[in-house]
Amino acid sequence: MRMRSLGRSGLFVSELCLGTMTFGGSEGFWGQIGRLGQDEADALVKTAFDAGINFIDTANVYAGGMSERILGQSLKNLGIPRDDVVIATKVLGPMGEGPNARGASRGHILSQCKASLARLGLDHIDLYQIHGFDPATPITETMEALDTLVRHGHVRYLGLSNWAAWQVMKAVGIAEARRLAPIVSLQAYYTLVGRDLEREIAPMLTSEDIGLMVWSPLAGGYLSGKYDAEGTQADGRRTTFDFPPVDRTRGAGTLEAMRAVAGAKGCSVAQVALAWLLHRETVTSVIIGAKRVEQLQDNLGATAVRLEADDLARLDAATRLPPEYPGWMLERQGAYRA
């Protein structure tokens, strides 16, 4: 398990991050995602920690706060030293009925940080992330509230999730101009069947030295190897929760290429999907979630998969993005600098 610095910071995190979205669900949406209780969560956290993972991601909205509670209890149950683990959580989604119990306003951020700390049973959060963009709140207000948390010692580092490139750059500019705590990471969707961030977001992250945390690296199970060419399976999660969206036409060719590489490497299709991400220079850490220890162990095996140039070329040929303006024009006009 390799360690990587998170963006332009002195914080080192494991190349794989344990996601806890499956912790604590009961009925409805969160029940579809996962219904793991304390004992099952403890087993996953122990497996991940024993494998060298020091990075764990959660959010206040996961199972209405139960994911944070269960994670905090797991750390206690397993006796994991606080300084040996990096805990990341997020804020944005509704945590109450009122209009101010959601979003990225100063009030919601400050109150929810305290609530997350209480559920986790910690005195600080290592990485606090805004879970999405709030069009109703000025970015300046959001950044100043986050800076307050850092200055008070409740939070160590700041991140964003699911923001467009221009939104991230605006936050970066505000932080620099006002000398606020900087943004060190972005959590975003990125897979072999979802390479959209390569157009604008990835170049921006490289330019600003911001770390990338990848969520849903198996595209909601689509790249797990369980699905056929059309992306269907009788008991797959996508039968009840078809997310993230996948272009099934392009996806069929992707699965074919992945199975060929997996066969040549003697590994699972899921490991190919994860290994491809670990070979991308933009990626800092890949978030892996699981419902079973066996599933987590298979994902952990991706760190040992080495993709050669021909493997990467085969996968790229099956999944590369079609040309789009202004990308093709930038490439053409930039040729004089070659």
What residues pair up with 187 in beta bridges, in sequence order? Answer: 161, 213
Distance CA 111, CA 115 (A): 6
Identity of the amino acid at 98? G
The alpha-helical segments, DSSP class H, found in 152-240 are 165-178, 201-208
Sign of CA dihedral 8, 209, 135, 244: negative
Q: Give φ, ψ of 230 to 5 degrees.
A: -90, 0
SS3 314: helix
Pairwise CA distance, residues 32 & 240, whole Å = 8
**Torsion angle in degrees (nearest 10) through CA of 285, 214, 163, 13:** -20
Of 77, 80, 62, 71, residue with least CA distance to 26: 62
Residue 93: which of 54, 149, 131, 124 has the closest Cα? 131
Number of Cβ within a 10 Å radius of residue 298: 19
Residue 159, strand partner residues: 129, 185
| Three-class DSSP category at 115 | helix
| 148 vs 125: CA distance, rounded Å | 13
Structure tokens at 208: 């600003």
Residues taking part in catalysis:
62
Report residue 94 as tokens.
Answer: 């509704």
Is the dihedral angle over the CA atoms 310, 312, 315, 318 positive or is it negative? negative
User: What DSSP state is assigned to residue 191?
Assistant: B
